[in-house]
Structure 1
Amino acid sequence: MNEKIAIIGSGIGGIASAIRLAAKGHQVTVFEQAGNPGGKLNEINKDGFRFDTGPSLFTLPGLVDELLSLGEVEPSDAFKYRKLDIVCKYYYEDGTVLNAWADPERFATEACEKVNEPVWRIHNYLRKMGEMYDLSADLFIFKPFARWETFKSDAGKKVARQLHKLDMLFSMHQRNKRSFKSKHLIKLFDRYGTYNGSNPYKAPATLNMISHLEHTDGAYFPEKGMYDIVRQLVLHAQKLGVDFRFNARVQEVLLEEKKATGLKVNGGVFSADRVVNDMDVTNFYKHLMPNRNLPLRLRLMEKSSSAVIFYWGMNKKFPNLDLHNIFFAENYKEEFQYLFRKKLLYHDPTVYVFISNKVTGSDAPEGMENWFVMINAPVNKGQYNETVMSEMRENILSKLNRMLKNDVASHIVSETIGTPLTIEEQTSSAGGSIYGSSSNSRFAAFMRHPNRMSRFKGLHFVGGSVHPGGGIPLCIASAGIVSEDIQNEK
């Protein structure tokens, strides 16, 4: 029986859910508080510059291709992307510049030449990360984790037989320190903890498998920028009959005898057989389930990091920079102590510079570049005032000036600033937390909010704040889990 399904939020998880459910014949309506779709994956157009505002790294593109092929409608060939030769360019305070080539052989050779790391160590590490991913991805990513039926499945039994390979007893940093002699590579692979807003000095070494996707499978980039992923998916969803309603603020989930029956939206009532939530789960319970207590797991788990972002239009091209660039802090461990223990911005942060115009060629005026300049930041606890932001801006510019040997500030002709406050305001993420909960414990995967709650029938959860986590591939995976759940419950 086809059902009437309401989706809260049009982030990647919500859009992917809409496509999957509409392709199976359901009547799907998506409610989005903003005036356009995308959630954190959005865009800014200002002064002739275009900026992607959210996720900037594109891995496992086949997951997007699959969504664009679903349903009995003519698939579009408008979405195009290419594989990157260099995944990321890394800058260190000692002057070392390391290209993370997509070709593992080339990357290992460069690392050997630049930081004196034996090639065999790098290949051995990447092989182990690939084995860990192959062993666990089906269980941890593409199945509804922490359910008995999942643990009893073939994927669950496979992991149980080789549990030691998941490396859960070490932290990411401890494993990386044992794997490499070069402090440069230790820092490079520690960085993958930030991909889900976590502390690599606390997060389990299992998360090191994130590096496998970039260094073995490869990284990609859409020809028209990251927001084109949203644009093409929404167009496909609309072909399938999905109704998107923007500037539609959901005030409450309606329940009858612990079963979701619809939504209160803009003061009116929308009846539905099921509700799929793509909103940050903490704010979901706080604002849309006012008579329900916040689940214990959300109270116990540490929030992920947030971000401070400067969107700078530059009146100059920087040929030495690539699409993705990282300028490391000298004291990486201390930076994470500030992020998670002190809840303060670090004076010498690791700086990420993303320049989509390097690929698109059209995101900036001729002879100019669009810089997305981001640092990891603690969630909002009231610490973000004008003085703090001004000092951080100067610290970032000083760092970039020093490491690029250029007066970066003199080339800024346009500026927009994003903070944990604006992230929460625009995307309803609690405290500006980008990934909901962090993975700063070996039990984090078991504690993450599930894709359904047994005490509420007809209520499902997708997106970066629930299982399996944040980032485009994982949000799409959450939509697949929910779609299967709904089919199995019919």
Structure 2
Amino acid sequence: MKTAVIGAGIAGLAAAVRLAVAGHTVDVYETNAGPGGKLNQFSLPGGYRFDFGPSLFTMPQYVDELFTLAGEDPRDHFNYTRLPEVCRYWWPDGTRFTAPASTEDLVRQVAQTFDVPEQAMRDFMDTAARKYTLTGRTFLEKSLHKVSTWLDPQVAYAMLKIPGLDLFRSMHDVHEAALGDPRLVQLFDRFATYNGSNPYKAPGLLSMIPHFEHHFGAYLPAGGMYDIARSVHALGERLGVRYHFGTRVEQILLPSPMERGRGRGQAGSRVQGIQVNGEEVAYDTVVCNMDVWLAYDRLLSGAKRPAITLKQQKSSSAVIFYWGIDRSFPELGLHNIFFSKDYAREFASLEGGTLSDDVTVYVNISSKYVPEDAPAGHENWFVMVNAPAHTGHDWDTLVAALRQQIIAMLSAQLAPSADTPDWLARHITAERIVTPPDIESLTGSHQGALYGSSSNGRMAAFLRHPNFSRRIDGLYFLGGSVHPGGGLPLCLLSARIVADLVADANKSATKHAPVGTGSRR
């Protein structure tokens, strides 16, 4: 079976490995010069290395699984450290809280810091675990768009539990009712941003997200986040996957409209291959890891667009400042959140398509665990603010004001006795700024939306694009813009779902092939 994978982001890399293990001859085509997509890296003058995109690593078993499938020991090729703490939180009122890694430690320390009884916090985390247990196989590990999923007895059982899944309340409402203390509510509301959503609109089911960090753990790869892409790419090479970097796929070749009209499973209804450098290359299967909106716009111009799916509200984007800092801050950890005073107003601004004048700031410092990422006594700061998807904003003006706001905020928190509000600026020795249009051009994310569509609505999961084409056999989709969603664990799961779908389709084709013909190879 000859298979093309379009895009060498982490989902495409993982799918290539899975399909190669299954016996496919796999070619991966990537516009950029190397693998990783958003999961990339770069350096700034002065000896500062940065991971370009994702900075949080949970569910490492989904990476380990790729090596195990290939018959290798993951520890021979990919290693990581479980973090003793997840994140350090800072509030404008002076409250500071370091979230420990384990659920039980979290429960105890929350009760000591906030106006929340220990049992209330334990009940909240137990509920998060129950939501994950009930829905994980349905919403994350299987296609929501196949009848077979809904015939699974475990799925049927989960559906009976819908009233307790908080699908009809927002995350914020769930957190407010369970936790009460506004600071703690804000802490858990911020988990909505893990898939680019608004906690005041996203369904309460997503309050299960903290379970990923505090039960399964948060980790950091030995060489930084790019180690994930590097190691999976190398695994693919050992399996014989062929990578074509610096190569743009121009079109996915489809059957003619008349042939498509025959319906799925009929002769001529199958994908034909791809066009690259003006030449047509035949493939039995095409797996598209491109943002699904751009895929229909650029690669599938002859296909019927799924209008409702592509019109869904975009997820948030980001403005990111990569700063080389000429001193160290022992009070900061790997992950740090500096909260705004008014979270509701901040998200209202994002919904309105702009930035608030009071934003929440995330600071990631990988040199805390990977000393080689910055010179001795220095730190590499990845400073991110949630931003609306790009729809024609004047980012130069917005970013100039945002930079001043962030520097003043962090200066006030880290050096309250400093003589000027721009104290931190004196310590920035290297800088790169990335805006939503940059994210769009560098990673192929439509309008710079980091996760495709948002999860602002109880039907959002069902409105994401399926992992397969409903009209074209042999055409599949994966990555953060389709089911099950954005973020590293879900992208890796999308690769698993696609590999399972391809295997099922091949079994079905073999079973129904005329005697003597065998399967198509």
TM range (shorter): over 0.9
Once the 2 structures are TM-superposed, how far is the Cα of residue 300 of structure 1 from its aligned partner? 3.1
* Cα deviation code 1:2-34 (max 9, x no counterpart): x10000101111001000000011000000000
Cα distance in 2, alignment partners of residues 218 and 113 from structure 1 = 22
- Does the CA-based 8 Å contact 1:58-1:221 persist in structure 2? yes
* Cα deviation code 1:62-98 (max 9, x no counterpart): 1111112222567661311111111000100000001
Residue 100 (structure 1) aligns with: 99
Cα distance in 2, alignment partners of residues 270 and 70 from structure 1 = 29
SS at match of 1:395: helix
1:397 aligns with 2:407: yes
SS at match of 2:55: coil
Q: TM-score, normalised by structure 1?
A: 0.97
Cα distance in 2, alignment partners of residues 311 and 269 from structure 1 = 41
Once the 2 structures are TM-superposed, how far is the Cα of residue 123 of structure 1 from its aligned partner? 0.7
- Does the CA-based 8 Å contact 1:353-1:372 persist in structure 2? yes
- Does the CA-based 8 Å contact 1:87-1:101 persist in structure 2? yes
Equivalent of 1:377 in 357, 370, 387: 387
Cα distance in 1, alignment partners of residues 56 and 395 from structure 2 = 30
SS at match of 2:271: strand
SS at match of 1:88: strand
Cα distance in 2, alignment partners of residues 317 and 77 from structure 1 = 33
Aligned partner letter, 2:330: P
Equivalent of 1:16 in 14, 36, 50: 14
Aligned partner letter, 2:353: K
Cα distance in 2, alignment partners of residues 195 and 73 from structure 1 = 31
1:36 aligns with 2:52: no
Equivalent of 1:306 in 302, 307, 317: 317
Aligned partner letter, 2:289: D
Aligned partner letter, 1:408: L
Cα distance in 1, alignment partners of residues 54 and 491 from structure 2 = 12
Residue 5 (structure 2) aligns with: 7
1:289 aligns with 2:300: yes
Aligned partner letter, 1:456: I
- Does the CA-based 8 Å contact 1:24-1:71 persist in structure 2? no
Equivalent of 2:448 in 432, 436, 441: 432
- Does the CA-based 8 Å contact 1:348-1:399 persist in structure 2? no
- Does the CA-based 8 Å contact 1:73-1:240 persist in structure 2? no
- Does the CA-based 8 Å contact 1:20-1:67 persist in structure 2? yes
Aligned partner letter, 1:18: A
- Does the CA-based 8 Å contact 1:348-1:396 persist in structure 2? no
Q: More displaced, 157-166 or 291-300? A: 291-300
In the superposition, relative to structure 1, how do residues 453 and 212 fare at CA in structure 2: closer, same or farther (>3 Å)?
same
Residue 240 (structure 1) aligns with: 239
SS at match of 2:372: coil
Aligned partner letter, 1:114: T
Aligned partner letter, 1:146: H
Aligned partner letter, 1:433: A
* Cα deviation code 1:290-340 (max 9, x no counterpart): 223431223431000000000001111111000000001111011111112
> CA RMSD for the aligned pairs?
1.2
SS at match of 2:76: coil
Structure 2 matches for 1:134-173, cutoff 5 A?
A: 134-173=133-172
Cα distance in 2, alignment partners of residues 124 and 17 from structure 1 = 38
Once the 2 structures are TM-superposed, how far is the Cα of residue 44 of structure 1 from its aligned partner? 1.2
- In our comparison, the structure showing a higher alpha carbon Rg is 2
Q: More displaced, 55-64 or 254-263? A: 254-263
Structure 2 matches for 1:90-489, cutoff 5 A?
A: 90-256=89-255, 257-258=259-260, 259-340=270-351, 342-405=352-415, 407-489=423-505
* Cα deviation code 1:454-473 (max 9, x no counterpart): 21111000100000001111
Cα distance in 2, alignment partners of residues 385 and 289 from structure 1 = 31
Q: More displaced, 167-176 or 208-217? A: 208-217
Q: TM-score, normalised by structure 2?
A: 0.92
Aligned partner letter, 2:131: M
Flag structure 2 segments of 5+ consecutive residues without an equivalent: 261-269, 507-521
SS at match of 1:260: coil
- Does the CA-based 8 Å contact 1:363-1:370 persist in structure 2? yes
Residue identity (%) = 44
* Cα deviation code 1:416-473 (max 9, x no counterpart): 1111001000111110000000011111011111001221111000100000001111
Cα distance in 2, alignment partners of residues 459 and 79 from structure 1 = 31
Flag structure 1 segments of 5+ consecutive residues without an equivalent: none
Q: More displaced, 74-83 or 301-310? A: 74-83
Once the 2 structures are TM-superposed, how far is the Cα of residue 403 of structure 1 from its aligned partner? 1.6
- Does the CA-based 8 Å contact 2:271-2:475 persist in structure 1? yes
* Cα deviation code 1:109-138 (max 9, x no counterpart): 222222222111111100010011011101
Once the 2 structures are TM-superposed, how far is the Cα of residue 147 of structure 1 from its aligned partner? 2.4
Cα distance in 1, alignment partners of residues 110 and 327 from structure 2 = 30
SS at match of 1:362: helix
- Does the CA-based 8 Å contact 1:176-1:189 persist in structure 2? yes
